[in-house]
Chain A
Amino acid sequence: MKDSYITPDGRTIGGVLMDMRGITLRFGGVEAIKNISFDIREGEIRAIIGPNGAGKSSMLNVISGFYHPQDGEVWFRGAKRPTMRPYDVARQGIARTFQNIALFEGMSVLDNIMCGRLTHMKTGIFSQAIWHGAAQREEVENREAVERIIDFLEIQAIRKTPVGRLPYGLKKRVELARALAAEPKLLLLDEPMAGMNVEEKEDMSRFILDVNDEFGTTIALIEHDMGVVMDLSDRVVVMDYGRKIGDGTPDEVRGNQEVIDAYLGVAHD
């Protein structure tokens, strides 16, 4: 594959941003991921799909540095990544959303999104408590960045609403906002559309495309809705029982017999 190319819709896809090489992840005797390799290129929307229990979320957790694979290497921006704590991964420019929303329910939408700016704040707890000089300036700058995201995701009306009072679809959007607030190089979305109705899915799809287009953010997502995946993503990795059974453009994947078997089931001889 060439180093960088332009998609039919006019976006530039760059070189390899993240390279997963021979990843194997075990939980005791269970092999959740079996020797999987694939890469994520700069500026692309990369989907990981597969039936339930295929190991998709585990894969995302490996990328985000939460799980440490027993075998294999994770290369990020041209360097092999050592075993890291999740906050180190965040500092490297990787942010994520969760399958079952993980927001601070009692805090306002604004405060939740401000949390996403944590890696961009340098002043300490004491100067922030005194609220003077650098701390104040920093808060203003970060608030502005957050307000731009609020505007981008059209959640102005719920800015001051406690997250616990929001419906599910909006919580998902707030979670996306918090991840975006970190200004990530790589954004990981774990089932961003699970449990949404058609209209909410359309909105979310639009936001994902806009994020990719507007900020040039590379996105890796897990999703069950095949229609959404095929429409959104540039390339798709298909997993089944911890193995990689397909990798390529949506069209290539759609025509892959193994993938069809995994999804539709196949008669046992």
Chain B
Amino acid sequence: MTADQLHSIPALLARNVASFGDKPAYREKEFGIWQSWTWTQAAAEIDALAAGLLTLGAVPDDHIAIVGRNRPALYWAMVAAQRIGCVPVPMYSDAAAEEMAYALDHCGARFAVVSDQEQVDKIADIREGLTELEHIIYLDGRGLRKYDHGAMTSYGDVQAAGRAAELSVRLDELSAARGYDDTCVMLYTSGTTGRPKGVVLSNRNVIETSKNSSDFDGLRVGEEVLAYLPMAWVGDFIFSIGQSMWTGFCVNCPESEATMMTDLREIGPTYYFAPPRVFETQLTQVMIRMEDAGRVKKWLFDHFMAVAHRVGPDLLDGKPVGGLYRLRYALGNLFVFGPLKNTLGLSRVRVGYTAGEAIGPEIFDFYRSLGINLKQLYGQTEATVFITQQPDGEVRSDTVGVPSPGVELKIAENGEVFYRSPGTFMSYYKNPESTASTKDTEGWVATGDAGFIEEGSGHLRIIDRAKDVGQMVDGRLFAPKYVENKLKFYPNILEAVVFGAGREYCTAFINIDLTAVGNWAERNNIAYSSYQELSQHPQVLGQIEAHVSEVNTSVASDPMLAGCQIHRFLVLHKELDADDGEMTRTRKVRRAVIADKFSDLIAALYSDATDVYTETEVTYEDGRKGQITATLDLRDAVVAAEQVAA
């Protein structure tokens, strides 16, 4: 098959079977052992399921919902759907029933392939309202024996029916009927505002983007990736299906969510993506463990990390470094960096990416100084991930890189970033108004982010969400995320939300990081019985106050954003949580929801009060609601003198 015939995922699969049929395509750790499937075996599994779906009555263009954690069988379900001309719609498996109901209803899925009883129960709760949903296919039958199997079949049984039906000719016909501009997949955006939108991506979008991005970093067969990010997220679809199918590399699925770190270490991926939060958490854990380490180890760590900070990034970028430092770095690699990278599971990473949020410069430098080629990219679902990315040798923490191959950028007058690329989405499903307002007739798409292209380097820098950038009452620029990111770079601050649009001064809500602060409390013999109590501990508040004041000093040095210094703040009594609607499932804060829900706290921050009593409704993981009450301290931070522009 020639390259210009590779116009669908099933076509790529067939090519992989022909080119490297005996190479591993999927691995999954189960019963404590890594089980693997070659491309040939995987294709057989996919065909069996695809034929099984046909026997259940699936017809081309049906939507097939896929719900569950990353497992080879669910990836196969996506490809099986494409094999028979259907559209896979992966969904967030941790979404509450009503969130899932919206997406299932909106896409009108006739079939749902789900992981286990938890998901089956969730769908059962909402089934009344879902007129289109006909059949559920479940992977793990545990606890489902007693359920009514009238409209429910196990994955294995569907495959068995498919194998018995012998439909391979029909499968090939259906696959061949799909063109380059037919729908490949539909993905729901998490939506920081309003309802999630179904982003329709074509085969062209996915395959062109996979090809370009694989070429950009020289990805090839033999690469190892760990598939642990939500399957509903566009990034996972591109990494684990798009790029994997294009290049033929192996996708490894962890045993369970909780074992991800162990599995990462065992697999040792060569190509790795993680959101900044994962890197932050890992770094926090390393630092906590080093605090508890013996003196010799601590000294070695501190000594060689200093060397690494000095020359590590330069070595990685191939810049000249003196011989003595090279030797010291090599020793450090032997004693500290090598073992540390091994513990983190990052020994073999050749290409590492982070995106989604700004990453703290210290965190970014930490990994790069260890010799891990961590880079940043900027993208979104509507672009099939890639808008900009950092080429090797041009990596910095404050930019998101140069336009990806085939991507054009322009900056609107208000600072909003627009792009046009082969990955530009086709439309929002059943939502022509939103499609029209996001993508113009020439194919330019508004990102919703404000940024600018740096002169000289050509790198894109993102300041904030365009709609969040506002003005203070005196007309000065208000960019909350800029300040929040600076705050979040402190290990003991998990989340921050800054208010100030249309106000005289800025205030902030802060979430402590229970891991970091909890460990600090343990080491200092500070007793606490709950998150709430720890969050209001005077010493914790004191530390946070110091951090806020430091951030103010740093903010004051930027003439454009000096107005964003935080005058008053409080530490929240609960963690902001997606179950309460305060964050998206990808952990972005929903400002409007928070401002509305905690309006009493904001009012108190803009008053003279020194503390405030509040009652908050919380939602538990199983959907039940409860109330928590707290009295929160309101603190003033030190505001730095602004540098007057000369």
> Residues of A with Cβ closer than 8 Å to B?
9-11, 143-144, 147-148, 150-152, 154, 156-157, 159, 199, 202, 206, 209-210, 213-214
Contact = CB atoms under 8 A, between A and B. Distances in A.
Contact of B256 (A144, A156, A202): A156
Interface string B22-46: 0000000011110000000000000
A152 B621 CA distance: 21
B1 to A, nearest CB: 39
A157 B31 contact: no
B143 A144 contact: no
9 contacts: A9-B146, A150-B31, A156-B32, A156-B255, A156-B258, A199-B621, A202-B622, A210-B142, A214-B142
Given A147-B31, A147-B32, A202-B622, A152 B142 contact: yes
Contacts of A151: 30-31
B31 A144 contact: yes
Contact of A10 (B30, B142, B146): B146
Given A199-B622, A213-B146, 18 more contacts: A11-B146, A143-B32, A144-B31, A147-B31, A147-B33, A150-B32, A151-B30, A156-B255, A157-B255, A157-B259, A157-B262, A199-B620, A199-B621, A206-B143, A210-B143, A213-B143, A214-B143, A214-B145
Nearest to A198: B620
Interface string B135-167: 000000011011000000000000000000000
Range for the number of chain B residues in contact with chain A: 10 to 19
A231 to B, nearest CB: 15
Interface in B534-592: none
Contacts of B258: 156-157
Contacts of B262: 157
Contacts of A9: 146
Nearest to B143: A210
Nearest to B258: A157
A142 to B, nearest CB: 13
Contacts of A148: 31
Interface in B109-147: 142-143, 145-146
Interface string B338-365: 0000000000000000000000000000
A68 B143 CA distance: 37
B228 to A, nearest CB: 13
B256 A154 contact: yes
Contacts of A206: 143
A10 B146 CA distance: 6
A209 B262 CA distance: 30
A52 to B, nearest CB: 26
Interface string B246-280: 00000000011011001000000000000000000
Contacts of B621: 199
Contacts of A156: 32, 255-256, 258-259
Contacts of A157: 255-256, 258-259, 262
Nearest to B254: A156
Contacts of B620: 199
- B32, B142, B620, B622 pick with most chain A CB within 10 angstroms: B32
Nearest to B256: A156
**Interface of A: prevailing SS:** helix
Given A154-B256, A199-B621, A202-B622, A159 B32 contact: yes
Contacts of B142: 152, 210, 214
Contacts of A144: 31
Contacts of A11: 146
A206 B142 CA distance: 11
A222 B143 CA distance: 23
A11 B146 CA distance: 7
A156 B30 CA distance: 9
Nearest to A149: B31
Given A151-B31, A156-B32, A199-B621, A213 B145 contact: yes
A156 B255 CA distance: 7
A74 to B, nearest CB: 31
A210 B255 CA distance: 20
Interface string B5-34: 000000000000000000000000011110
A151 B142 CA distance: 11
A242 B477 CA distance: 77
A34 to B, nearest CB: 38
A159 to B, nearest CB: 7
A214 B141 CA distance: 9
Contacts of B146: 9-11, 213
Nearest to B148: A10
Nearest to A214: B142
Smallest CB-CB A-B distances: 10 pairs: A157-B258, A147-B31, A10-B146, A157-B259, A147-B32, A156-B255, A210-B143, A156-B256, A156-B259, A9-B146
Nearest to A145: B31
Nearest to B29: A156
A13 B145 CA distance: 15
A209 B145 CA distance: 11
Contacts of B30: 151
A206 B256 CA distance: 18
Contacts of B143: 206, 209-210, 213-214
A134 B31 CA distance: 22
B31 to A, nearest CB: 4
B612 to A, nearest CB: 29
Contacts of A147: 31-33
A206 B258 CA distance: 19
A199 B624 CA distance: 11
Nearest to B621: A199
Contacts of A213: 143, 145-146
Contacts of B32: 143, 147, 150, 156, 159
A210 to B, nearest CB: 5
A147 B32 CA distance: 7
Contacts of B255: 156-157
Nearest to A206: B143
A263 B143 CA distance: 33
Nearest to B624: A198
A152 B32 CA distance: 12
A9 B146 CA distance: 7
A6 to B, nearest CB: 11
A192 to B, nearest CB: 17
B236 to A, nearest CB: 21
B85 to A, nearest CB: 35
Contacts of A143: 32
A213 B258 CA distance: 26
A185 B24 CA distance: 41
A161 B367 CA distance: 28
B73 to A, nearest CB: 15
B26 to A, nearest CB: 18
A216 to B, nearest CB: 10
Nearest to A207: B143
Nearest to A9: B146
Nearest to B259: A157
A44 to B, nearest CB: 15
A11 B31 CA distance: 28
Contacts of A209: 143
A65 to B, nearest CB: 31
Contacts of A152: 142
A78 B131 CA distance: 52
Contacts of A202: 622
B263 to A, nearest CB: 10
A245 to B, nearest CB: 32
B525 to A, nearest CB: 20
A10 B256 CA distance: 31
A9 B622 CA distance: 23
- A9, A143, A157 pick with most chain B CB within 10 angstroms: A157
Nearest to B260: A157
Contacts of A159: 32
Contacts of A154: 256
A206 B117 CA distance: 11
